[in-house]
Amino acid sequence: MKTPVFFLLTILSVSLLFAQQEPDYQDGPELESVDEVEQAPASENDAQKPVQEEALPQDDNVEETDSQLATRNSQLTVPEENEENLKIVPPPETADPEPVTPDDPIQENEAHNLQLATRSSVASAESPNVVLIVADELGLGDVGCYFGDQNKTPRICQLASEGLKFTDFSASAPDSLSAQRAIVTGRRFGKNVETTGLGAIAKKHSYRTAFFGQWLLGTDNAALPTDCGFDVFWGTTATADKWPFHPVAGELNAPLKVWDNSAVVGYNLNPETYNRQISARAAKFIKKAPNDPFFVCVFFPSFRPLTSRVPDAYSAAVARLDKAVGEIVDAVDAAGVTNKTLIVFLSSCGPNRAWGAQAGSTGPYRADVGFEGTIRVPCIVRYSEKVSPGVYNCFANQLDVLPTVAQLWNVTEEELGKREGKSLVSVLDGQTKPVYKSFAYFSADGKIIAVRADKWKLYCPQEYKSVSQTENAAPGVPAPYVIKAIDWELYDLTDDPGETTPKNNERPDIVETIRKAINR
């Protein structure tokens, strides 16, 4: 079924409003048109049967040989194969028919999308290797070069000093699955990841491809990375909270399968060593044939120490993640392809603050689910001698990753097809002005929940999960959320980044303009 373009009128009305006044802000973006969003697929059922298994022992070995990797696989805990513990309810098929073509596409978006006719200096360079690193639920307050402790993340901070740091970078939604869909497919509700995702695009352009970590876009009966253009896959097909040794929900979860390409090689990795195993394999893949173009996609699972109730376990987990990121960067440099490799580091979404001391930090941003603390995330891009070190203070988001990489790979508009994001190649080239004028956030069922327009953000009436009561949660034991509700609420993200004081009374004209556009 074709989905109408929600915000054709937003472009006109919001643009008219802001054309009549001089902006009174410094670092807020003038957002562009809201992109059309295809209809969400049916909800996915991840229900699983009870089973608990032991975790693997701690192992800090980084440089592993083939025999060591094989030994590690063989040591994975394998449950007894009885009917109860292997009965897993699969999710519905994730592959969809051909992408929906909107009835009334926004011509401005189409013209702006990639602009392949006018190549920038970055895009005109040799097509780069790409290393895409995503840390699950890493908050802005966890990273030293944003609002965290420099001593905990020296390698990530070094990457930022060598590259371009985004300060207003947004997740598509406050959850890991939505983030992976947006990044891999360039759409909020990803279509045909087997043929249109980043892995498939890279493969068509003769890249060696690998995916390491948590794959959330398919399980046993749906597409694995090896079905989506990736030559190599090692990891799991569930988030950390699906693991059988989860301290609260473990008894509800089935054994967590560990995949090596398309084969299950064991069960139930230790979450506290998983990231190091991922980085070792990614480093090995990069070093194997550095003269051949490669695309490595790494999705680190949540580094939240679910199995530990030690008060300082979280700080140690952040340090382990930083070390794993550094190992991958070192592999690029050791392979002699620093100047040929684009490294993109970002987070899937903000931290789950219900975990209290074992959760990440949202920095100065509001930690309630759906607000800035759960969607504004770190993003750093390094492309040595191609992208100048610096800071980009305007709005960008996860949907922009695919069209940006596609442009650098010289992918044609016809091959790429419709995507929701925009290429940021002009930003990598040094452009400091905004790429967007407006941007809409959607719920899983396709409803608009908030609209970003310039420095303003208007929330629609909705219920949300509040974390205000969870600051003192005991280590390793999540506190319950408190469900609250809001009406229309307008915030000025420049003057009030923590979203503490609605501005409805001060700027009713902004509220009314965006509300009318949504209702229409």
CB-CB contact of 379 with 391 (8 Å): no
* pLDDT, position 207: 97
Mean pLDDT is highest, among 298-302, 311-315, 378-382, 477-481, for 378-382
* pLDDT, position 8: 34
Q: Which residues contact 66 (CB under 8 A, 6 or more apart)?
A: none
- 512 phi, psi to nearest 5 deg: -65, -40
- State the average pLDDT over residues 380-405: 96
- State the average pLDDT over residues 26-43: 33
Residue 272: band (very low, low, confident or very high) from pLDDT cuts 50, 70, 90: confident
What is the DSSP-derived secondary structure letter of residue 513?
A: H
CB-CB contact of 497 with 362 (8 Å): no
Residue 277 CB-half CA count within 13 A: 28
How many C-beta atoms lie closer than 10 Å to residue 468's C-beta? 12
What's the Cα-to-Cα distance from 296 to each of 84, 98, 345, 419, rounded to whole Å?
A: 37, 27, 12, 21
CB-CB contact of 454 with 18 (8 Å): yes
**What is the overall mean pLDDT for the chain?**
77
Residue 220: band (very low, low, confident or very high) from pLDDT cuts 50, 70, 90: low
330-365 burial by CB neighbour count: b if 16+ within 10 A, else e? bbbeebebbebbbbbbbbbbbbbbbbbbbbbbbbeb
Q: What is the pLDDT of residues 142-167, one digit of tens each?
A: 999 999 887 889 999 999 999 999 99
Domain 8-44+88-453 CATH class label: alpha beta
- State the average pLDDT over residues 488-512: 96
Q: Among 1-15, 183-197, 209-223, 265-279, which stretch is predicted with the lowest mean pLDDT? A: 1-15
- How far apart (Å, rounded) are the C-alpha atoms in residues 376 and 187? 18
Which one, of 396, 397, 421, 377, lies nearest residue 185 by Cα? 421
Q: For residue 438, what is the enclosing H or E element?
A: strand 438-442
Residue with tokens 């609250």: 484
The fraction of the chain above a pLDDT of 90, given in percent, is 54
- State the average pLDDT over residues 5-11: 38
Residue 421: band (very low, low, confident or very high) from pLDDT cuts 50, 70, 90: very high
Residue type, 224: L
How many C-beta atoms lie closer than 10 Å to residue 17's C-beta? 16
- State the average pLDDT over residues 446-451: 91
Read off the tokens for 169. 């970078």
- How far apart (Å, rounded) are the C-alpha atoms in residues 181 and 113? 19
Residue 118: band (very low, low, confident or very high) from pLDDT cuts 50, 70, 90: very low
CB-CB contact of 230 with 297 (8 Å): yes
The fraction of the chain above a pLDDT of 70, given in percent, is 71
Higher per-residue pLDDT: 20 or 249:
249
- 400 phi, psi to nearest 5 deg: -85, -15
